[in-house]
Amino acid sequence: MAYGLLNGKRGIISGALDENSIAWKVALKAKEEGAIFTLTNAPIAMRMGAIKELAEQCNAEIIPADATSVEDIENLFTKSTDILGGKLDFVLHSIGMSPNVRKGKAYTDLNYDWFKQSIDISALSFHKMMQTAYKQDAMNEWGSIVALTYMAAQRTFPFYGDMADAKSVLESIARSFGYQYGKYRNVRVNTISQSPTPTKAGSGIGGFDKFFDFADKTAPLGNATADQCADYVITLFSDLTRMVTMQNLFHDGGFSMTGISEDVMALINKE
């Protein structure tokens, strides 16, 4: 059911790779709620083709941009405001990748060139997007910028590798830029810390299936799905959350506040 929460709003949605992507679900819901937007992803993701289906469904243009390239991001914001006919009301950063995690490098044996890439792709890209929007004055007053993160920024999950460090930087950037953008244009900046979700990025983490089940059995509400995450993102883009900024918001069915659950204890008792 649609509520018209984003009627008349314009935005940019990054990170829709395939129909499992969190950004894919956000795009479908943003369209349903009345928004117009552009879609973006790394040029290499374009070749996989699926984003074109989404663009057709959403009547949205695709602007390829490598999120580590300031030049690409400048082009993304300039073209988006041109195509959409004015300044933006929302931006979704839904981008993450660690070559160390992807190639199975242990945290005690990191390749530092890859580590820099993890930080650049997964965290600095968020700063680059906001700095570009700020310099171009591309956001409307009371706009909303959201990035997706994971709880490994606060607590250690051994298999999450250097992505944990990247997410810590990402969340810190949300606070630091949130202050600046709040003062400048009343624009709010938040991160959503989502449950484990079966997507390309999620499933690339070692032991994902077991960890997914553990989180699901720990959280009193169970794991939040990608669809539910998209609902939450839409509320943050809407005018109903105008005074929420610089926050890391857990969207995890209560996992982050639960020590242990009866369901997990039952599993341990079996052994």
Ligand X SMILES: NC(=O)c1ccc[n+]([C@@H]2O[C@H](COP(=O)([O-])OP(=O)(O)OC[C@H]3O[C@@H](n4cnc5c(N)ncnc54)[C@H](O)[C@@H]3O)[C@@H](O)[C@H]2O)c1
**Cβ neighbours of residue 21 closer than 8 Å, sequence gap 6 or more:** 15, 94, 199, 200, 226
Contacting residue, 52, 200, 210, 242, with ligand X by CB under 6 A: 200
Q: How far is the CB of 249 from ligand X (least distance, A)?
A: 12
CB 193 within 8 A of CB 151: yes
**Exactly one of 80, 118, 194, 248 binds ligand X (CB under 6 A); which one?**
194
Given the complex with ligand X, which of 80 and 149 has the nearer CB atom? 149
Q: Which of 150, 179, 181, 232 is catalytic?
A: 150
Sole binder of ligand X in the list 5, 30, 36, 121 (CB under 6 A):
121
Instruction: Classify burial at 109, counting beta carbons within 10 Å of its beta carbon; exposed 0-12, middle 13-18, buried 19 or more.
Output: exposed
Residue 179 falls in the annotated catalytic set = no
Binding range to ligand X, per CB under 6 A, among 74-82, 142-150, 176-184, 231-239: 142-150
Question: Per CB under 6 A, does 199 bind ligand X?
Answer: yes
Q: Is there a catalytic annotation at residue 150?
A: yes
| Binding characters for ligand X, 208-247, by CB under 6 A (x = yes) | ----------------------------------------
State yes or no: residue 96 binds ligand X (CB under 6 A): yes
197 binds ligand X (CB under 6 A): yes
Segment lying near ligand X (by CB under 6 A), choices 3-11, 15-23, 30-38, 126-134: 15-23
Which tokens hold the place of 190? 């938040």
| Total site size for ligand X, rule CB under 6 A | 26
Q: Which stretch binds ligand X (CB under 6 A): 84-92, 103-111, 181-189, 194-202?
A: 194-202
- Shortest CB 26 distance to ligand X, Å: 9
d(CA 73, CA 16): 16
Identify which of residues 202 and 253 has a Cβ nearer to ligand X in the complex. Answer: 202
Our finding on whether 66 is near ligand X (CB under 6 A) is yes
Residue number, 132 or 199, with CB nearest to ligand X: 199
In whole angstroms, what is the distance from residue 35 CA to residue 27 CA?
9
DSSP character at residue 85: T
Using alpha carbons only, give the angle 248, 147, 154 rounded to the nearest 5 degrees.
40
Q: Would you put residue 247 in left (φ > 0), alpha (ψ -120 to 50) or beta? A: beta
Q: How many CB atoms lie within 10 A of CB 52?
A: 12
Q: What share of the chain is helix, strand, coil (3-state, %, to 5)?
A: 50, 15, 35
Token pair for 121? 């792709």
* Among 3, 160, 179, 181, the one annotated catalytic: 160
Rg (CA), the chain: 18
Residues catalogued as catalytic: 150, 160
